[in-house]
């Protein structure tokens, strides 16, 4: 299983083994990562799973689609490394990815 390195919105870091095919949002919610809320359940209809991806990992992700970009425009503290965790599926190629939860109302 790929290892995902989550830092929650309180600064607590955890290394989690996550099954391939799971989204980063699902993994965060299943493991109570503070800051990842996922109010829309992964439908890309809110920005409550807003996260910052480690800069050196951005090029390994599928490109952001227009809907995700629009949702991030409504997110608090959008940065160049911002992504919605519901739009990133865990694969073996993402083993070791670093994900930091944004403050999403927690």
- Chain segment 59-84, per-residue pLDDT in tens: 999 999 999 999 999 998 999 999 99
Cα separation, 104 vs 49, in Å, equals 7
- Structural domain contains residue 31: yes
Q: What is the pTM of this model?
A: 0.94
- Structural domain contains residue 55: yes
Per the structure, the count of domains in the chain is: 1
The CATH number assigned to the domain holding 23 equals: 3.10.20.30
- Structural domain contains residue 106: no
CB-neighbour burial class of residue 28 (10 A; exposed 0-12, middle 13-18, buried 19+): buried
Length in residues, the chain: 106
Domain around 62: 3-101
pLDDT, one tens digit per residue, over 4-58 is: 999 999 999 999 999 999 999 999 999 999 999 999 999 999 999 999 999 999 9
Instruction: With beta carbons less than 8 A apart as the criterion, state whether 12 and 38 touch.
Output: no
The Cα-based distances of 49 to 3, 60 in angstroms read 19, 19
């Amino acid at each position: 299983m790929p290892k995902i390195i989550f830092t929650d919105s309180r600064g607590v870091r955890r290394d989690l083994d996550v099954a391939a095919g799971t989204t980063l949002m699902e993994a965060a919610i299943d493991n109570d990562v503070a800051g990842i809320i996922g109010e829309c359940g992964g439908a890309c209809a809110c920005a409550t799973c807003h996260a910052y991806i480690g800069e050196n990992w951005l090029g390994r992700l599928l490109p952001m689609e227009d809907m995700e970009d629009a949702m991030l425009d409504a997110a608090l503290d959008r940065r160049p490394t911002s992504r919605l965790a519901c739009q990133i599926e865990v694969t073996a190629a993402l083993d070791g990815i670093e994900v930091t939860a944004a403050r999403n109302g927690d």
